[in-house]
Amino acid sequence: MQQLPLRTGLTVGLGAGAGATVRELVLYLAGPSSPEALILAVTFAINVSACFAMGLVQPGPFWGMGFLGGFSTFSAVALACAPMPPLLAWFIISLSVAVAVAAWLAGDACRRRSG
């Protein structure tokens, strides 16, 4: 893996912090005492929209690896799945990854068509 210069690392870090803050704001607006299923659904939607935007725009370090990387989170999906029966957890995590990749491919296809 290529070493990132300090300036790029700081740019990515600032973007990631901003993205994570916006994600938490979106989850808060969904309702601070929302049921786990709603939080999981909102997190799933956040991940898919971030992947679509990444494919559509192909942003640089701040908006790409930074903001969209911080905005999306697969760790929250994994954490929400931890208490579930293993087969259900495996299904949700697999579905989440598959749909996120499909969203990126869809965004990339839209970008190529409009370019």
Instruction: Answer yes or no: is 1 within a domain.
Output: no
For 71-98, write each residue's pLDDT tens digit.
999 888 888 899 999 999 999 999 999 9
CA dist 44 and 58 (Å) reads 21
Question: Would you say residue 115 has pLDDT above 80?
Answer: no
Higher pLDDT, 59 or 36: 59
**Residue 89 placed within a domain:** yes
The two tokens of residue 16 are 């990631």
Task: Report the alpha-carbon distance of residue 36 to residue 3 in Å, rounded.
Answer: 38
E strand or H helix that includes residue 12: helix 6-29
**Distance in angstroms (rounded) separating the CA atoms of residues 20 and 16:** 6
- Residue 29: domain span: 6-114
**Residue 77 resides in a domain:** yes
Number of domains comprising the chain: 1
